[in-house]
Amino acid sequence: MGLRNKRQPHAGGHSGSTPGALGVGAQVVVRLDRGRYPDAVADDPSGVIVAAGELQGGALYAPVSGRETVWVVEFDEPFYGLDGSGPHASARVAQSSLEAAPEA
């Protein structure tokens, strides 16, 4: 999967955020929870955070416990879930399942 042009990440609208900080515009990789699908061969999808999500409910393949931050991620390529669902253009993803994408 190719990564989009690198955008300058910022957290919560604050300027001067640290590299690797998550926020709208950050390029990320979604680390999928493979606990229920250990034999799945799908790659972890990459994309860009386009909006803050809600602090309740579920997220992509991982329930949100407590008041965890959830981000809306638009995928670089249509994503098919480990369960075969999709294609998905975007999803709500818990922050604990995200990491900053490596530099291109």
- 91 to 5, 15, 75: CA distances (angstroms): 20, 26, 8
Q: What is the pLDDT of residue 41?
A: 84
Write out pLDDT tens, residues 16-72.
344 557 999 999 999 998 888 888 888 899 999 999 876 555 555 555 566 788 899
Asked whether residue 1 carries a pLDDT value surpassing 50, the answer given is no
Write out pLDDT tens, residues 69-83.
889 999 999 999 898
Q: What is the pLDDT of residue 59?
A: 54
Residue from 89, 1, 81, 78 nearest 50 by CA: 89
Residue from 18, 22, 16 nearest 101 by CA: 22
The pTM is what?
0.70
